[in-house]
Structure 1
Amino acid sequence: MAAAATASVAIGTMAAAPAQAQFGFGGIVYDPTNYASNVLQAARALEQINNQIAQIQNQAASLVNEAKNLASLPVSTLSTLQQQVDQTRRLLGEAQRIAYDVQSVQQAFEGRYKGAALTGDHAQMVANANARWEDSAGAFEDALRVQAGVVGNLDGTRTSIDTLVGASQSASGALAAAQAGNQLLALQSQQLADLTAAVAAQGRAQTLDAARDAAIEAEARERFRRFRGRN
């Protein structure tokens, strides 16, 4: 009876113990549950490492893109543009007789185109008429020189446009593209300045010629009045 009781206690004790599959290999106990947990933790750690590597790669790519965006345009046409503007300004500054200046224009018209300049003696009328003719001839010459300078700038302008358009299309970043665009706008402004200069020079010549015609007509009336007075 005692042996049966002891066997019953042993069986009860085994039934109450947790069901864990453990295997022994050469004295080493292998626990599958613990092994699976360790593998899962390692997999999660590896996934975190991979995510960190991906973040570093994205940051590196972002830095490369920022560096491209901050890269300056490797070409510049501003020096050529400045030379063309200076040439046009120089041609305008070399205007003969009557310069592009309000005071100069006023003095010239007071002395040669109206008032006492049209009612002096015969010698004064002849001198003023010659001066007005020289004004007109000089203005037309100035207009032709300015127009020739503007046409001469076209070759440089065309080369600059080709250079800037090519640089803009191959720009590696936003800054370089913006710089190319700014230079193209500056080039356009220079072309408008050349056009304005040519129009101003031509208008000056035509205005002086019209003023000379008006002065000739006024002198003709004065001569006719004097002729009638003698008769």
Structure 2
Amino acid sequence: MSDTFFPLRAGLLASAMLAAPVIISALFATPAQALIVFDPSNYAENVLQAARALQQINNQIQSLTNQAQMLVNQARNLASLPMSTLAQLQSSVQQTQQLLNQAQNIAFNVQQIQTAFASTYGKAATSASNASLIADARTRWQNSVGAFQDSLKVQAGVVGNIPSNSSAMTSLVSASQSATGALQAAQAGNQLLALQSQQLSDLVAVLAAKGRADALEQARVTATEAQGQQQYKIFSTRSGYQPGNVTMFSGN
């Protein structure tokens, strides 16, 4: 029995040893496409590329934002001032000019002044009659009175411009302080300068009207003194008193 058992056992063991590689190969055999391999270096490179791409996108977005803000700023700088006081200032200047043009008798005209001084304010003629001298004196007096009246009218007109100028100045200062861009600030500044020029022109008009009145009055006084001297000469060169018979009452 023992002789039969050992050869059988040896055959079974040999068969098992031959079948083992086949079984192990069957256990570990898997399809090639199902095999997953993780490469750390490749993964890190992909992450870096994605980060760089994202950074580029962020940079482009920031650049577009800056360009949009630049366009907004340019639009603000090119925006015009929503108000203008030019018409109001021009109206004030025209009113003052009209008052100066209404100057009585002797206007603000070089030719008229020369003519008036040659005929009325010059030296009295030795052959002038009393009536002529009195007429010239009356003309000079009327010129002085008219000049003082003109001066007062100009002063009143300039004083009347003060409220409108004050309102314009307040509006322009407020507009300048709230300007959204360079153009609005510049326009507000230009209109403030125009307002200042208009006020200076009013001041010049007042000084001119006052100076005209003072000059005509001084000329009148001087001409009156010269006329008085001429009249005295005429009176002193006349012959002495000649007595004569005067009948007071008619005789019966």
Distance 1:128 1:223 in 2: 13
Give the equivalent residue in structure 2 for 1:71.
Answer: 79
Give the equivalent residue in structure 2 for 1:12.
Answer: none
Confirm whether residue 188 of structure 1 aligns to residue 196 of structure 2: yes
- The amino acid that maps onto 1:102 is V
Give the equivalent residue in structure 1 for 2:208.
Answer: 200
Give the equivalent residue in structure 1 for 2:36.
Answer: 28
Distance 2:114 2:85 in 1: 40
User: TM-score, normalised on structure 1?
Assistant: 0.87
Whether the aligned pair in 2 keeps the contact of 1:110 and 1:117 (CA below 8 Å) is no
* 1:92 aligned to which of 88, 100, 112: 100
- The amino acid that maps onto 2:36 is I
CA shift for structure 1 position 117: 5.8
SS at match of 2:134: helix
The runs of 5 or more residues in structure 2 that have no matched partner are 1-31, 241-252
How many residues matched? 208
* 1:224 aligned to which of 228, 232, 239: 232
* 1:51 aligned to which of 50, 59, 69: 59
User: TM-score, normalised on structure 2?
Assistant: 0.80
Distance 2:73 2:163 in 1: 36
* 1:147 aligned to which of 123, 148, 155: 155
Give the equivalent residue in structure 2 for 1:5.
Answer: none
Distance 2:237 2:36 in 1: 146
CA shift for structure 1 position 96: 0.4
* 1:138 aligned to which of 115, 139, 146: 146
The residue correspondences of 1:101-116 to structure 2 (distance < 5 A) are: 101-116=109-124
Offset from partner CA, 1:88-112 (integer Å, 9 cap, x none): 0000011000000100000111110
After the TM superposition, list the runs of 4 or more consecutive aligned residues in structure 1 that deviate by more than 3 angstroms.
Answer: 115-119
Whether the aligned pair in 2 keeps the contact of 1:68 and 1:173 (CA below 8 Å) is yes
* 2:217 aligned to which of 198, 209, 212: 209
- The amino acid that maps onto 2:60 is Q
Whether the aligned pair in 1 keeps the contact of 2:77 and 2:181 (CA below 8 Å) is yes
The runs of 5 or more residues in structure 1 that have no matched partner are 1-23
CA shift for structure 1 position 50: 0.6
- The amino acid that maps onto 1:138 is G
- The amino acid that maps onto 1:104 is Q
Whether the aligned pair in 2 keeps the contact of 1:113 and 1:212 (CA below 8 Å) is yes
Offset from partner CA, 1:63-93 (integer Å, 9 cap, x none): 1111111111111111100000000000001
Whether the aligned pair in 2 keeps the contact of 1:142 and 1:201 (CA below 8 Å) is yes
CA RMSD across the alignment: 1.5
Larger radius of gyration: 2
User: Percent identical across equivalent pairs?
Assistant: 57
Distance 1:117 1:132, change over 3 A: farther
